[in-house]
Structure 1
Amino acid sequence: MSSHIAVVLKCYPRLSETFVAQEILELQRAGFQLTLVSLRHPTDKRTHPINDEIVAPVTYLPEYLHHEPRRVFAAWRAVRRLPGYRAAFRSFLRDLARDATRNRVRRFGQALVFAAEFPAGAKWIYSHFIHTPSSVARYAAEIREMRWSASAHAKDIWTSPDWELREKLAAADWAVTCTAGGSRHLKQLADDAGKVSLVYHGIDLSRFGRPTAVSYDRNGGAPENPVRILSVGRAVKKKGLDTLAHALARLPEDIHWRWTHIGGGELADELKSLVDRLGIADRVEMHASRPQSEVLAEYRQADLFVLPCRIAPNGDRDGLPNVLVEAQSQGVTCISTPISGIPELIEDGRTGLLVPPDDITALRSAMEGVIRDPSLREKLGRAGQDRVFQAFDHRASIGQLIGRFEASGLTSSVAQEKLAS
């Protein structure tokens, strides 16, 4: 029997988190038995094909405690006499004193249900995102006196207080994160820097293989054949999409272009209003999140991928957006900013272009330069593609993650078969 892992997730499935689904699928393929535990019910009406390949059962915890009070009360009665309950309750009270919010109470209530309805035979708890999912994972692990680990990404690192990160890292066996900057920050907070490992997400290159032909001919000079600009990602502050809209509006009139944005997001209506005010609505298409196969088709039609990320006022920022890796895998020239892990993928002037965040003039100039010079766009696009195929194959990153599990005493059925042969 393979080792059984309970995987705690913020929301499953979710169109904007293909990297999570990809990792789950690879752990499944490696032969681990998985149970997925989601803090929220999905709101996306569609899913990626990759989700159809995942066979792990999903347990949904009460999204709001008052929606399922009997379930929460029954869970408390079931776990309050477990040996670890008092320690978990003390941890919760310490956290509540520093974070007196309903959200904190909700996470402890969800942890009670998770601990009471714990998957039979599960030997480990692994949480995706080190903020709220790891709060639930930590409390439940204390209640059941189990070992656990976490995967940290971007917002969850940079919007969490240091005291909370420090204590979670002390309680967990180990953590992985997907950017060098995030890794450095967590190592500084950890009681043992060796607990934290840098593991890039990478992408599945069997899904994002090199296209048979990439055209770099368009230069924006033909009204009937405008250059195609693409961005993918939720319309939220940290993506800098308002900067992109302003930069597009300032492109010279003799450059003909179309911008497609995919991702929806809480600021989608605000972005649409901005596009209308700038007078560029007739050249812009805005779409909600789409399945990975449809996004791939858009990459293959695009001439330029632009995502001018920034650090939001609350400290939120991207880590290394997977959409940049995906776009580069298709030979699309990418323009972004030197935020977080982006320079680990894009070397300015060699594998893409980086401009300062919130700099409309610099972004407009960078776009104009590569639009008017298809040969430069081809050079950057092909170099970026080579970079992805050399360093961002998910098979290498998943091997690192599996190695951490195996070093913790968990063995997949694939590994067991190798040992038996």
Structure 2
Amino acid sequence: MGRSRIVMVVSGFPRRSETFALQELLALDGCGLLAAIFATKPGDGSSLHPDCHRILNKVQLLPAGSSVEQAEALVQRLDRKTVTGIHGYFAHTPAEVASHVSARIGIPYGFSAHALDLRKVPGEEMAARAGNAACVIACNPDAAADLSRRGAKVKLLPHGVDLDRFRPAPLTLCEPVRLLAVGRLVEKKGFHILIEAVRRLPFPFYLRIIGEGPERTRLAAAILEAGLSESVELCGGMTHTDLPGQYAKADIILVPSIQTGAGDRDGLPNVVLEAMASGRPIIGSDVGAIGSAVAQGETGMLLPPGDPSALAGALETLVRTPGLSMKFGKAARRLVERDFELGACTERFCRHLETVYV
């Protein structure tokens, strides 16, 4: 595909929760398009996903400061002879830094948008940033619609999932039913709603919640107050080394996301595609772009967000109807094979950036 010519500006890197970023950066590097990665702040310090080490030598941490100051620091480190484009991997600070670099040295810039990053930028500012960009990429339909409302010309390029790493395993649905939720412990994931929902279940279950974050203390207190210490476990964060086995041991995957009072919501979380690739039935909230993969009555069950009674009822329906779970799991695997296979998704991403910048 040619020499390395694209600089990527990311936020904190590496981050365990942002596997999608790692996968697309690895793909850019693999096809010879990645010149360097500049991070606007440090990573989260957690365990690294497999293959992350392959690109760590291309990561440079920018000094703390304003976006203009970070852009100037980036320019000073740049080999301008080989760089023909700069891409902000998120729509907030990385895109702002990329735009300043573009203005400073006269190369095109663009940016990708995901979820919260998009909502951190005021509408008029986002419209101007998109209007000056050589490309604007949305990774899910919710982000694409938001950008389109602001007048941006958007390319929808979904993230993919590794179908070899996440593979189906037999479903058992024996009691206690094994439930699994995966995600950062933040309000928008709706895990406090999940704890209230499972408290109402009339059958034995064991729920594992994988992830770390600021809501851990609140969730631990809710588990204790509900008398669920023997049935609900906060497991901490895990990488792709461990997650496939966790999906294989689970009967049902729960994605109880909500929109917060501040307007934050998920796009299409990693857990949805990983669970579907693992052939697991999903019960998810109809918020953000979750419904672009979890089709009600086809690949899972889609519920109103923030409703513990509806969530408990859907769980009981799946447990009492094992054939439905198997149907959902098989259909989910077929859908990700068709629409979200990692190699096909990252190839589209790389080819689009090559067309724009090289």
Q: 1:330 Cα shift?
A: 0.6
Partner of residue 368 from structure 1, selected from 316, 333, 352: 316
Q: Unaligned stretches of 5+ in structure 2?
A: none
- What residue in structure 1 maps to residue 36 of structure 2? 35
- What residue in structure 2 maps to residue 180 of structure 1? 141
Q: Quick check: 1:19–1:201 contact (8 Å CA) kept in 2?
A: yes
Q: One-letter code of the match for 2:73?
A: V
Matches for 1:175-324 after TM superposition, within 5 Å? 175-190=136-151, 193=153, 196-208=154-166, 210-211=167-168, 213-218=169-174, 220=175, 226-252=176-202, 255-324=203-272
Once residues 58 and 174 of structure 1 are traced to their aligned partners in structure 2, the CA distance between those partners, rounded to angstroms, is: 23
Sort the Cα spacing of 1:4 and 1:376 in 2 relative to 1 into closer, same or farther, 3 A.
Answer: same
SS, match of residue 172 in structure 2:
coil
Matches for 1:9-408 after TM superposition, within 5 Å? 9-54=10-55, 56-62=57-63, 64-65=64-65, 106-120=66-80, 121-190=82-151, 193=153, 196-208=154-166, 210-211=167-168, 213-218=169-174, 220=175, 226-252=176-202, 255-408=203-356
SS, match of residue 40 in structure 2:
strand
Deviations 1:187-245 (A, max 9, x none): 23235x3xx1011101122322x33x412342x3xxxxx11111110011111110000
- Give runs of ≥4 in structure 1 deviating > 3 Å: none
Q: 1:9 Cα shift?
A: 0.6
Once residues 119 and 204 of structure 1 are traced to their aligned partners in structure 2, the CA distance between those partners, rounded to angstroms, is: 33
- What residue in structure 2 maps to residue 74 of structure 1? none
CA RMSD of aligned residues (A): 1.6
Q: Quick check: 1:35–1:119 contact (8 Å CA) kept in 2?
A: no
- What residue in structure 2 maps to residue 90 of structure 1? none
Once residues 186 and 26 of structure 1 are traced to their aligned partners in structure 2, the CA distance between those partners, rounded to angstroms, is: 25
* Segment drifting more, 239-248 vs 43-52: 43-52
Once residues 331 and 46 of structure 2 are traced to their aligned partners in structure 1, the CA distance between those partners, rounded to angstroms, is: 36
Q: Quick check: 2:114–2:267 contact (8 Å CA) kept in 1?
A: yes
Q: One-letter code of the match for 1:52?
A: H
SS, match of residue 47 in structure 1:
coil
Q: 1:50 Cα shift?
A: 2.5
Deviations 1:326-384 (A, max 9, x none): 01111111111111211110111111001100111100100111122222111111111
Q: 1:409 Cα shift?
A: 4.8
Once residues 106 and 29 of structure 2 are traced to their aligned partners in structure 1, the CA distance between those partners, rounded to angstroms, is: 25
Once residues 171 and 139 of structure 1 are traced to their aligned partners in structure 2, the CA distance between those partners, rounded to angstroms, is: 11
Sort the Cα spacing of 1:190 and 1:176 in 2 relative to 1 into closer, same or farther, 3 A.
Answer: same
- 1:4 equivalent to 2:16? Answer no
Q: One-letter code of the match for 2:131?
A: A
Once residues 159 and 407 of structure 1 are traced to their aligned partners in structure 2, the CA distance between those partners, rounded to angstroms, is: 28
Q: One-letter code of the match for 1:295?
A: L
Once residues 267 and 217 of structure 1 are traced to their aligned partners in structure 2, the CA distance between those partners, rounded to angstroms, is: 29
Q: Quick check: 1:159–1:316 contact (8 Å CA) kept in 2?
A: no
Q: One-letter code of the match for 2:156?
A: L
Q: Quick check: 1:36–1:56 contact (8 Å CA) kept in 2?
A: no
Q: One-letter code of the match for 2:289?
A: G
Q: 1:55 Cα shift?
A: 5.7
Identity level (%): 31
Q: 1:390 Cα shift?
A: 1.4
TM-score by length of 1: 0.81
Once residues 315 and 143 of structure 1 are traced to their aligned partners in structure 2, the CA distance between those partners, rounded to angstroms, is: 34
SS, match of residue 293 in structure 1:
coil
Once residues 290 and 182 of structure 1 are traced to their aligned partners in structure 2, the CA distance between those partners, rounded to angstroms, is: 27
Q: Quick check: 2:109–2:133 contact (8 Å CA) kept in 1?
A: yes
Deviations 1:167-189 (A, max 9, x none): 11012101111112221221232
SS, match of residue 117 in structure 2:
helix
Once residues 7 and 57 of structure 2 are traced to their aligned partners in structure 1, the CA distance between those partners, rounded to angstroms, is: 10
Deviations 1:268-296 (A, max 9, x none): 11111111111101212112221112011
Sort the Cα spacing of 1:307 and 1:409 in 2 relative to 1 into closer, same or farther, 3 A.
Answer: closer
